[in-house]
A and B are shown apart, each in its own frame.
Chain A
Amino acid sequence: MNSGANLNRRSFLITSAAASGGLAVGLALPFGPEKAAAQNSTPEIGAWVVIKPDDTVIVRVVRSEMGQGTVTGLCQLVAEELECDWDKVTWEYPTPGESVARKRVWGDFSTGGSRGIRTSHQYVRAGGAAAREMLKQAAANQWSVSAAELTVSKGVITHKASNRSTTYGKVAEAASKLEVPQDIKLKDPKDWTIAGKPLKRLDTTDKVNGKMIYGMDVKLPGMLNAAVRACPVFGGLLKSFDDAKIASMPGVRKVVRVNDSTVAVVADTWWQAKTAVEALPVVWDEGENAKVSSATIAAWLKEGLDAQEAFVGNSNGDAKAALASAVKRVEAVYGYPYQNHACMEPLNATALYTPDKCEVWTGTQNAEAAFASVLEASGLPAAKCDVHKTILGGGFGRRGRSDYVAQAVSIAKQMPGVPIKLIWSREEDMTHGTYHPVMQAKMVGGFDANNNLTALHIRLSGQSIVARLFPQNLDKGDTNPNNKGMDILTFQGLQRPGLEHAFGYTIPNLLIDHSMRNPHVPPGFWRGVNINQNAIFTECFIDELAQSVGQDELEFRRKLMAGLPRNLAVLNAVAEKIGWGKPAPEGVYRGLAQMMAFDSYVAAAAEVSVSGGKIKVQRIVGATDCTFAVNPAQIERQVAGSFVYGLSALFYQECTVKDGAIEQTNFHEYNSMRIAEMPKVEAVLVPSGGNSRWGGVGEPTICVAAPAVLNAYFKATGQRIRSFPLKNHNISLA
């Protein structure tokens, strides 16, 4: 029975919103029993694999490719169990509409929280293995032998006893009619021949010849183009606009109210639409938020550093008492700014609405959340909606939101039958982001008479992403009644032992708490999310503590890492590779950092030299233990790429608030690292394997670059910087 038409729309909206919240949600993944006819005549072998008569293998991938290599990695995992010829592997995206119609046969589409591989490796491998068994069974049936007598290699099935062989393509049709086996045994990773190897990406060719179609490049017959302006002040309203003033501008077709705060111009070309929407006289009702500035936000957060009430994210012993009786106390206050994702491809979506159907073509990190937005904005049921995903020109968390999708549908609904491509200008993208949240931290450490660190209190004060985007997910993972309303994600990298972002030190008396203060600026998941600031706060302050008692920064850390062997292993790996303890080249200084996040253990060691206001990062070693390395070459690229993203933020990026609006509008005010500033990045992969939860790759390493560089900068200059970005201190990358 097809459940799609009967789907309770509201429950789907809630489920998909929860799934995109960056929190573990125990979704039952109903793959297996469902065995639908394939979409076309090409045989589908279970839900995950399609094999064409020419032996081409099409792997179904539902996680989104935004550069992080998840498509290639997931295909490797499926192909590994399938035992097919890697050279014949290609892939396709099922749509969320198909998924809903098939009882979510492919599980969660959400591509955030570094979960693409780590939360789906089990069932995609099972899908590959099930298909292999079905193909073997089909050959066995054809030859009237037992499947147990058959062997497979690179898509060829062999019956040695009778010297017969066939290929997957030849038996695919018959295999597609068989039941999907349920009892699947997966390979031991030590036997992998496709997974675990540094294979080339599957999506490169069209990225070097201009043929890759991003959302920006979608073309439909009769398509018109839309440009929007939303109220510069978040929460403000669109009061009125004077469309007569631009009616005669070239190409202009229509001016439409998109939602309470946004107006669009639809024109023949996007350039015409953009030109016209910028010329459109608009009156905004900016509201109370127009009084807010970066200074007022900072003052409010500062109050939280000493506020009585706070959510306790992690504690042991009695930190307050231990600090009160400490022989020596060290205290520091840090702060972290708002930042925009600034994906290279500005946000866009193309929508076609008719009263019978609404379809969207877009780059999204969460096709199910986008689908929910299409349902809501179109008013049509799930069976009449769908979302077609393109490759993403960067996501970094921003494309997990679907505001731009809802806008495209709203415009298209006002022009039924006409495909509408909505593109946000870079300026719209910069000023209507979902920003890396602001946070301040007061760090207090206490020592006994023997210079042992006996207590640490980290007080966070600032914004919760979950409170704004998924308030239904607050409290998850905590049963303490005093913590009602807590956002556990705020404590990424600082969480209790056993969680996926656990604190990386053992300290006798520990208190980590959060005074939640939510300004009007919309926060969002920004690559790495809260580990960015938490790693800077923790790892810079750990250096401050070590230096306050004259101890070596590596040895000081090691003493606090009892019972944390995986943290220690990555720290040791970078220390060894950078040459910690050995003399550095003249004028070169070193810094360290380590953290655990997204179930991966990461560390960095940087070497910098400083001249005037310029920091040259000579080299930076990054280590990760992500449990299993599905594609080492792509992981190395994620380490290096995450350092570029993290260091660009550290040096250059801040979104400031004036009169309730974001001030920075484009890259001239929001700089990003260039090739000349790129340090030599040396990635060290130390996957520890075993039965531990798999760790993520796209995000975790981002957080250790900044504190490693800051710690090295302190060694070079004696200057400890505690507010960011560094450009505010007249420091740039050399």
Chain B
Amino acid sequence: MIALTINGQTRNIEVNPDTPLLWVLREQAGLTGTKYGCGITQCGACTVHVDGVAMRSCGLPVSAAVGKQITTIEGLAQNGVLHKVQKAWIDNDVPQCGYCQSGMIMAVAALLNEKPKPTDDDINVAITNICRCGTFQQVRDAIHMAASA
């Protein structure tokens, strides 16, 4: 039995400690907003926050997340109020298929925590998620909008 704190709630989960956090979130915790894209930390669709830092959960054994604050896309809004990144995403009509966007949003939210006014170069370095639909132009616009919100 492993105790995990996900989106502020602690729950006990029966799982092999080697299981990637991604699959524990999706299959045991029932939080399917975090997506499986590659399983080898290449694409970023599985990005969550672990103690506020963006992490690719497909490469993180669940045992490494014990005792830490895990935030998923479902926990980004606070008290029913969307995070500024989510709002900017809606205002810019960013998602196309949307499958990568949970991870993209979580990566951007972590970037803004660290650098509230990121430059284009900051964005280029920090945001390395794959989006096959090619929403990057709207993503960049929305990041700047969220930063100025």
Contact = CB atoms under 8 A, between A and B. Distances in A.
The finding on whether chains A and B are genuine partners in a shared complex, rather than unrelated, reads yes
A648 to B, nearest CB: 8
A213 B32 contact: yes
Contact of A426 (B23, B39, B96): B39
A201 B97 CA distance: 11
Contacts, number: 174
B143 to A, nearest CB: 9
A676 B140 CA distance: 10
Contact of A201 (B77, B93, B99, B131): B93
Interface string B13-39: 000100110010011101111111111
A284 interface: no
B82 interface: yes
Given A250-B16, A270-B23, A633-B93, A210 B32 contact: yes
A68 B96 contact: yes
A342 B128 CA distance: 17
A394 B134 contact: no
A425 B138 contact: no
B140 A675 contact: yes
A76 interface: no
Given A640-B137, A675-B124, A426 B37 contact: yes
Contacts of B123: 675-676
A216 B36 contact: yes
B133 A67 contact: yes
Interface in A157-204: 200-201, 203-204
B27 A269 contact: yes
A641 B35 CA distance: 21
A614 to B, nearest CB: 14
A28 interface: no
Contacts of B57: none
A666 B32 CA distance: 22
Interface in B105-134: 105, 123-125, 127-134
Interface string B35-47: 1111110110100
B4 interface: no
B36 to A, nearest CB: 7
Contacts of B124: 674-676
A633 B95 CA distance: 13
B5 to A, nearest CB: 18
Contact of B40 (A203, A208, A343, A666): A666
Contacts of B94: 204, 208
Nearest to B142: A208
B95 A667 contact: no
A344 B132 contact: yes
B134 A642 contact: yes
A676 B134 CA distance: 12
B102 A210 contact: yes
A67 B93 CA distance: 11
B35 A345 contact: yes
A637 B135 contact: yes
Given A207-B95, A675-B139, A668 B42 contact: yes
A675 B26 CA distance: 27
A67 to B, nearest CB: 3
B114 to A, nearest CB: 17
B64 interface: no
Nearest to A638: B96
Contacts of A213: 32
A271 interface: yes
A269 B13 CA distance: 13
Interface string A386-416: 0000011111100000000000000000000
Interface in A617-669: 633, 637, 640-645, 648, 666-668
Contacts of A208: 82, 86, 89-90, 94-95, 98, 101, 105
Contacts of A217: 26, 32
Nearest to A271: B23
A209 B40 contact: no
B30 to A, nearest CB: 8
A346 interface: yes
Which of A213, A344, A395 gathers the greatest number of chain B CB atoms within 10 Å?
A: A344
Contacts of B82: 208-209
Nearest to B27: A269
Given A208-B89, A667-B42, A67 B98 contact: yes
B27 A67 contact: no
B45 to A, nearest CB: 6
A443 B136 CA distance: 36
Nearest to B42: A667
Contacts of A642: 134
Given A66-B97, A393-B98, A676-B125, A204 B35 contact: no
A344 B77 contact: no
A344 B37 contact: yes
Contacts of A270: 23, 27
A394 B43 CA distance: 14
B71 to A, nearest CB: 11
Contacts of B23: 269-271
A672 B31 CA distance: 27
Nearest to B91: A200
B100 interface: yes
Contact of A678 (B30, B128, B136): B136
Contacts of A200: 93
A205 interface: yes
A68 B134 CA distance: 11
Nearest to A225: B27
Given A204-B90, A666-B40, A672 B97 contact: no
A271 B19 contact: yes
A210 B74 contact: yes
Interface string A411-439: 00000000000010110000000000000
Contacts of A648: 132
A300 interface: no
Contacts of B37: 344-346, 426
B72 A210 contact: yes
Contacts of B100: 344
B33 A346 contact: no
A637 B141 CA distance: 13
A271 B43 contact: no
A211 interface: yes
B138 A392 contact: no
B132 A203 contact: no
A513 to B, nearest CB: 34
B54 interface: no
B73 interface: yes
Contacts of A672: 43, 130, 132
A214 interface: yes
Nearest to A214: B99
Which of B35, B45, B98, B137 gathers the greatest number of chain A CB atoms within 10 Å?
A: B98
Contacts of B139: 675
Given A344-B43, A345-B99, A394-B99, A210 B129 contact: no
28 contacts: A67-B97, A201-B93, A204-B90, A207-B95, A208-B86, A209-B76, A209-B77, A209-B82, A210-B31, A210-B32, A213-B32, A214-B99, A271-B19, A344-B35, A344-B99, A344-B130, A393-B97, A393-B98, A393-B99, A641-B134, A667-B40, A667-B130, A668-B42, A672-B132, A674-B129, A675-B127, A676-B128, A678-B136
Across the A-B interface, the 8 shortest Cβ-Cβ residue pairs: A210-B33, A644-B134, A393-B99, A67-B97, A207-B98, A67-B96, A676-B124, A641-B134
Given A211-B33, A225-B27, 8 more contacts: A204-B94, A210-B72, A343-B132, A346-B37, A637-B96, A645-B134, A675-B128, A675-B136
